[in-house]
Structure 1
Amino acid sequence: MVHEVTLLAKQLLVGNGFLVPFSSPGKLLEAGCLLIEGNLIQDIGITRLLQKRYPQSEFIDAGGGLIMPGLINAHSHLYSSLARGMPFGFAPPSNFLQILERLWWRLDRALDGEGIYYSALAGLIAAVRCGTTTIIDHHASPSCATGSLEAIARALKEVGIRGCLSYEVSDRHGSQSVREGIEENLRHLDWCREHGEGMISGSFGLHASLTLSDDTLGECRDSVSGKEVGFHLHLAEDRADVEDCHKKYGKTITSRLEEFGILGPKTIAAHCVQVTDKELDILGQTDTKIVHNPRSNMNNAVGAAPIARMWEKGLRPAIGTDGMGMNMILETYFAYLLHKHQSSDPRVLPPDQAVEMMVLNNSRVAGIFFAPKLGVIEVGNLADVIIISYDPPTEINTDNLFSHLILGLEDMRVTTTIVNGRVLMKEGRLLTVEEEKVRAEVKKVTARIWQKMREI
């Protein structure tokens, strides 16, 4: 699928735009420029000065647009790329458990090696086009667990996106499936140590409390004992998860996970919609990383995470898409609107907090898995950089920058995406894969997967 040798100049300048480094609140450098050497950012300044300082460098002209750090998706499901328009053939789900049983658990069971690979390619192409340069993915394919993360890693390498992968362990399909899921996580973690090359990392995936017995939780915990590995799971996404835990174990999900040693600074807890104040305290005390997924929560009608309470308690939630595309600016825009509507208070989640969640909080989560630092433009950081074409009718300045980033979405278009110093897209053209050929193959594979879904 390799299209052509991509631009990986010895020295590359990206300039002539509004440089938004996110190294300090509201900082904006007009006519800004940065120098990339290898896979690192090595200088930042005014375009004409850096061009004079590095006259032999390649130059990418931002054309007056925004130069920003590549965006990070802190919770994704690449296989959901095959879900758009997927067949129903039954009464629409009326609650969250029915959504899982009738849609997602049928799709993940239908996946095979080819479906996993092409769904990943489709999702990664979308990521490049959205300026999302790092994804933290949570995968499930119970009919094809073994080798599934290797298939996704292959797609990551071909497209050039940075990614952290995990496989969802669940009791849904019995003890053999549990064992396969554990082994797939361990296999991938070992693979990353040898072949990750700073671009592909791993975590240990778990589904959610309602599909994990005490025996399975204990086995998962013990399998990574002493390895300094965290977990990636869904926590209190819906009342059904909360009620199941109370009924079976007489405690909250967060208390249960804490007792098993699942929580901690390397663990990602997606959603945290139906959590109590005490649970938020536990998540804060353990430094567990919370990831908010507003569009998914709205789509599944599970409620709105208590983002304002998290902020009041000093927690800093990150943001993900939970499989609903890869557009992090769009996701953040929905978060900005959702919490005002849900609280009937227009002061909740102002633009600066919303952007902080998208950029700085996501950067903290990505820092668990990758080094040097990414998600912020500073000298010495990883060279994940995007250019956004944006020509608003009003002035951009340090006072209104965050409002532009949230409310200017309709006028924004990512034109250039650079990951690890490698140009993956330039002026809207993908350079690492033949997009039309991939799309054609994805449609063929999707038709076959959908037919399998109908038969499940």
Structure 2
Amino acid sequence: CYEVTDRGGTAERDLGISENVRFAKEDTKPGRVAAHFGLHASFTLSDESLEKARAAAEPLGLPFHIHLSEGKEDPVDSLQKYGVRTAERLDKFGILSEGTLLAHGIQLSGAELELLSQRPASIIHNPRSNMNNAVGAAQVTTMLSRGIKVGIGTDGFGCDILGEMLTARLLAHHTSGDPTALGDDELLSILRHNYELAGRFFGLPFGRLAEGYAADLVIWDYRPPTPLNRENLLSHLLFAGISEGLSPDTVFIAGRIRLRDGGFADVDELEIMAKARAAAEALWKRV
């Protein structure tokens, strides 16, 4: 998705809308690339912009990706300009639809949580980004207890979903004062919802080693210091593995080995890094 915003004016906004439509209409690789319609946040989008985005997305069946009440400015702006809180405003434009990803969802009222429990959109929890930006913590356990769909992401803060899961648990302990908050069942439900979202976007099921499922697999070279079983697998991964710096040894994507012995199997990593540095320097000179 491409982020649509009013911050650069209506001409730039319209270019952003067109870019989302262009990308969605492109031929993509089945199971590898899928499109969302990107929106920044309620506080940078007028009613006119939200209506234009909805009109462009609906014919293509595109769900949305938008920041929802990450900071206090989002609900404050919505109340001052439109007389309703952020989730209520987005709902008026059909944004809380099936497949929509609502990043963060921190500054939400009880009424908004009730509304979200009645809508198919998903909250995406990004605990490390939230801590870094000092914007607070999402009410994840409350959301789950109310039946709100919750997934987990990184918000660009690295690409380590298991690390985010560990952080989510520790943050839940810290903010609630309850060392049992966000237990294994709740964390696994969040991870399973990520699989469900991936299945919706890419057209095939994820999350099992079974016929017909996506042939995506990560293998860790992990030697457990205590017996490993179904009941303690997550704790081993999060506390004995991820917290100690465990990295993937082998990665399969769509049945092809992409990482072997901890290194890329089919690309030159050093060459890519060199090209990335050159591209970054060229970008810095332009801006």
TM-score between the two structures when normalised by the length of structure 1? 0.61
Q: Which residue of 2 aligns with 1:248?
A: 81
- Select which of 343, 357, 361 maps to 2:193: 361
Q: Which residue of 1 aligns with 2:260?
A: 426
Q: Which residue of 2 aligns with 1:95?
A: none
Q: Which residue of 2 aligns with 1:197?
A: 30
The residue identity in structure 2 corresponding to 1:406 is L
- Select which of 143, 168, 172 maps to 2:3: 168
C-alpha separation between the residues in 1 aligned to 2:220 and 2:185?
19
C-alpha separation between the residues in 1 aligned to 2:183 and 2:120?
24
Matched, 1:323 2:172: no
Matched, 1:395 2:227: yes
Work out whether residues 363 and 375 of structure 1, in 8 Å CA contact, stay in contact via their aligned partners in 2.
yes
Identity of aligned residues (%): 39
Task: Give the superposition deviation at 1:255.
Answer: 0.6
Deviation string for 1:240-285 (max 9, x for gaps)? 1111111111111111010111111121101001111211222221
Query: Cα–Cα, structure 1 residues 399 and 375, in superposed 2: closer, same or farther, change >3 Å?
Result: closer
Task: Give the superposition deviation at 1:399.
Answer: 2.3
TM-score between the two structures when normalised by the length of structure 2? 0.95
Task: Give the superposition deviation at 1:451.
Answer: 4.8
Matched, 1:296 2:123: no
Q: Which residue of 2 aligns with 1:277?
A: 110
Matched, 1:225 2:58: yes
- Which aligned segments of 4 or more residues in structure 1 are displaced greater than 6 angstroms? none
Per mean C-alpha deviation after superposition, the further-off stretch among 287-296 and 439-448 is: 439-448
Work out whether residues 294 and 338 of structure 1, in 8 Å CA contact, stay in contact via their aligned partners in 2.
yes
Work out whether residues 416 and 427 of structure 1, in 8 Å CA contact, stay in contact via their aligned partners in 2.
yes
Query: Cα–Cα, structure 1 residues 264 and 401, in superposed 2: closer, same or farther, change >3 Å?
Result: same
Task: Give the superposition deviation at 1:316.
Answer: 3.3
C-alpha separation between the residues in 2 aligned to 1:324 and 1:305?
17
C-alpha separation between the residues in 1 aligned to 2:263 and 2:246?
16
C-alpha separation between the residues in 1 aligned to 2:114 and 2:59?
26
C-alpha separation between the residues in 2 aligned to 1:431 and 1:290?
35
Q: Which residue of 1 aligns with 2:14?
A: 179
Higher strand share: 1
C-alpha separation between the residues in 2 aligned to 1:322 and 1:198?
22
C-alpha separation between the residues in 1 aligned to 2:198 and 2:270?
31
C-alpha separation between the residues in 2 aligned to 1:384 and 1:205?
26
Work out whether residues 390 and 413 of structure 1, in 8 Å CA contact, stay in contact via their aligned partners in 2.
no
Q: Which has the higher contact order (CA 8 A, sep 6+)?
A: 1
Gapped runs of 5+ residues in structure 1?
1-165
Deviation string for 1:87-136 (max 9, x for gaps)? xxxxxxxxxxxxxxxxxxxxxxxxxxxxxxxxxxxxxxxxxxxxxxxxxx
C-alpha separation between the residues in 2 aligned to 1:195 and 1:241?
34
Q: Tell which structure's C-alpha radius of gyration is larger.
A: 1
Aligned length: 285
C-alpha separation between the residues in 2 aligned to 1:320 and 1:267?
14
Higher helix share: 2
Q: Which residue of 2 aligns with 1:406?
A: 238
C-alpha separation between the residues in 2 aligned to 1:450 and 1:349?
42
Work out whether residues 271 and 305 of structure 1, in 8 Å CA contact, stay in contact via their aligned partners in 2.
yes
C-alpha separation between the residues in 1 aligned to 2:238 and 2:182?
11
Query: Cα–Cα, structure 1 residues 351 and 406, in superposed 2: closer, same or farther, change >3 Å?
Result: farther
The residue identity in structure 2 corresponding to 1:242 is P
- Select which of 142, 145, 154 maps to 1:312: 145
Task: Give the superposition deviation at 1:353.
Answer: 2.0
Gapped runs of 5+ residues in structure 2?
none
The residue identity in structure 2 corresponding to 1:449 is L
C-alpha separation between the residues in 1 aligned to 2:56 and 2:95?
12
Work out whether residues 219 and 248 of structure 2, in 8 Å CA contact, stay in contact via their aligned partners in 1.
yes
Q: Which residue of 2 aligns with 1:446?
A: 280
The residue identity in structure 2 corresponding to 1:363 is Y
SS in 1 for 2:224: coil
Work out whether residues 167 and 181 of structure 1, in 8 Å CA contact, stay in contact via their aligned partners in 2.
yes
